[in-house]
Amino acid sequence: MTEEGVVDPLLRVRGVSKAFSGVPALTNVDLDLYGGRVHALLGQNGAGKSTLISIISGVLQPDAGTLEIEGRGVHFRDPSEALASGIVAVYQELSLLSDMTVAENLYLGIEPRKNGLLDRKAMAEGAREILSRLGAGGISPLATVGDLTIASQQMIEVGKALTREAKVLILDEPSAVLGDDELELLYALVGRLTEAGISVVYITHRLDEVMEIADEATVMRDGSVVLALPRGELTHDVMIEAMVGRSVERNTPPKWQSADHAHEEDGHGGLVVSNLMLPGMNETGVNFSLRPGEILGVAGLTGSGRSRLLRALAGVDPPISGSVTWGGGPISIRSPRAAIANGVVLVPEDRKRQGLILGQSVESNIVLSVLGRIATVGWLRSSNVGAIAQDMVLRLQIKTANLGQKVQFLSGGNQQKVVIARCLTLSPRLLLLDEPLRGVDVGAKAEIVDIVGEIASRGTSVIVVSSEIEDVLALTDRIMVMRDGIVAAEFRGAEATEARIFHASAVQGK
Partner 1 sequence: MSAGIREQTDTRSPRDWASLTPVLGLVAILIIALFLAPSFFQPANLGNLSRQAAILAIVAAGQTLVLLVRGIDLSVGAVMTLSMVIVARVSEGNDDQLVGAIGAALLLGLIVGVLNAVLVVGRRVPPFVATLATAVLIVGFQTAWTQGVPGGGIPSALAELGSSRVLGIPAPTYIALIVIGIVAIILKFTILGRWLYSAGGNPEAARMSGVPVAWVTAGAYIACSLLAVFAGLLLGGYAGYVDAYLGVGYDLDSIAAAVIGGTSFAGGAGGVGRSLLGAVVIASALNMIVLTGADEWLQLVVKGAIILVAVAVQTTRWSRPRRGG
Q: Is 488 in the site for partner 1 (CB under 8 A)?
A: no
> Rounded to the nearest 5°, which phi and psi values hold at 176?
-60, -30
Q: Is 321 in the site for partner 1 (CB under 8 A)?
A: no
**How many angstroms separate the CA atoms of 463 and 433, rounded?**
6
Helix axes 150-163, 180-195, angle to 10 degrees: 10
Q: Is 406 in the site for partner 1 (CB under 8 A)?
A: yes
Per CB under 8 A, the list member of 28, 360, 427, 508 interacting with partner 1 is 360
Distances (CA, A) of 340 to 239, 269, 343, 422: 43, 18, 5, 12
- Which of the stretches 33-41, 244-252, 295-303, 360-368 binds partner 1 when contact is defined by CB under 8 A? 360-368
**How many angstroms separate the CA atoms of 68 and 72, rounded?**
5
Q: Which 8-state DSSP code applies to residue 352?
A: I
* DSSP labels, 100-127: SBHHHHHTTTS--EETTEE-HHHHHHHH
221 DSSP β-pair partners: 224
Q: Is 427 in the site for partner 1 (CB under 8 A)?
A: no
Per CB under 8 A, the list member of 7, 142, 248, 375 interacting with partner 1 is 375
Per CB under 8 A, the list member of 390, 459, 494, 495 interacting with partner 1 is 390
- Which of the stretches 91-99, 121-129, 191-199, 386-394 binds partner 1 when contact is defined by CB under 8 A? 386-394
> Rounded to the nearest 5°, which phi and psi values hold at 246?
-85, 165
- Which of the stretches 135-143, 145-153, 368-376, 463-471 binds partner 1 when contact is defined by CB under 8 A? 368-376
CB of 331 to partner 1, least distance (A): 15
- What number of residues does the chain have? 510
Q: Is 386 in the site for partner 1 (CB under 8 A)?
A: yes
CB of 370 to partner 1, least distance (A): 9
Select 251 or 376, whichever has its Cβ closest to partner 1: 376
- Which of the stretches 112-120, 199-207, 299-307, 334-342 binds partner 1 when contact is defined by CB under 8 A? 334-342
Q: Is 489 in the site for partner 1 (CB under 8 A)?
A: no
CB of 274 to partner 1, least distance (A): 25
CB of 124 to partner 1, least distance (A): 34
- Decide: 198 and 35 in contact? Cβ < 8 Å: yes
What is the separation, in whole angstroms, between the first and last Cα of the chain? Answer: 34
Residues of span 275-314 touching partner 1 by CB under 8 A? 314
- Closest to 33 (Cα-Cα) out of 207, 175, 167: 167
Q: Is 121 in the site for partner 1 (CB under 8 A)?
A: no
Per CB under 8 A, the list member of 6, 117, 401, 442 interacting with partner 1 is 401
Q: Is 322 in the site for partner 1 (CB under 8 A)?
A: no
The stretches of 28-148 forming alpha helices (DSSP H) are: 49-56, 79-84, 102-106, 120-133
**How many angstroms separate the CA atoms of 164 and 160, rounded?**
6
- Closest to 481 (Cα-Cα) out of 288, 281, 243, 244: 288
- Count interface residues toward partner 1 (CB under 8 A): 42
Q: Is 393 in the site for partner 1 (CB under 8 A)?
A: yes
> Rounded to the nearest 5°, which phi and psi values hold at 400?
-145, 150
- Which of the stretches 40-48, 83-91, 285-293, 376-384 binds partner 1 when contact is defined by CB under 8 A? 376-384
72 DSSP β-pair partners: 69
Return residues touching partner 1 (CB under 8 A): 314, 316, 336-337, 340-341, 345-346, 348, 353-360, 364, 367-369, 371-372, 375, 378-380, 382, 386, 390, 393-394, 401-404, 406, 408-409, 411-412, 422
